[in-house]
Amino acid sequence: MGRLSHLSGRPPMPLTAIDLEAAERALRRQRRLAVRTALSLLIALAALLTAAAVIPGRLGWAVLFFAPYPVLLALAALHVRRAEQVEDDHDRDGP
């Protein structure tokens, strides 16, 4: 039945090898996207921490207090958009 057949918690449905191959391909793309998003988040937060360390006084604290939220929102929006593109590609190429 393949590696993905146990994920739904339902009895496995008979799928062709092509269906499972497309699902595995979509899963790999989603995984790569998640890793890229996590690395982008780490880089952005490291840049914010560096900026806060370089900027003196209260302005440095303001950077730490206010700047992460727009960064997180932008990364989340980009991640969702790209994840939906992967799903759309999977649906278009799928069964």
Is there a domain that residue 86 lies in? Answer: yes
pLDDT digits (tens, 9 = 90+) for 50-92: 999 999 889 989 998 999 999 999 999 999 999 999 888 877 7
Is there a domain that residue 7 lies in? Answer: no
Give residue for tokens 């937060």.
45
- 25-29: long-range contacts, CB 8 A cutoff, minimum separation 24: 25/90, 26/86, 26/87, 26/89, 26/90, 29/86, 29/89
Is there a domain that residue 66 lies in? Answer: yes
Domain count, the chain: 1
pLDDT digits (tens, 9 = 90+) for 21-53: 888 888 899 999 999 999 999 999 999 999 999
| Structural domain for 31, as ranges | 17-93
% of the chain surpassing 90 pLDDT: 54
Is there a domain that residue 43 lies in? Answer: yes
Contacts of 66 (CB under 8 A, 6+ apart): none
Give residue for tokens 């780490």.
42
Tallying the residues shown for the chain, one arrives at 95
Is there a domain that residue 6 lies in? Answer: no
pLDDT attached to residue 16: 65
Measured distance CA(64)–CA(74) in Å, rounded:
16
pTM comes to 0.71
Is there a domain that residue 55 lies in? Answer: yes
Is there a domain that residue 49 lies in? Answer: yes
The amino acid at residue 13 is M
Is there a domain that residue 5 lies in? Answer: no
Measured distance CA(69)–CA(48) in Å, rounded:
11
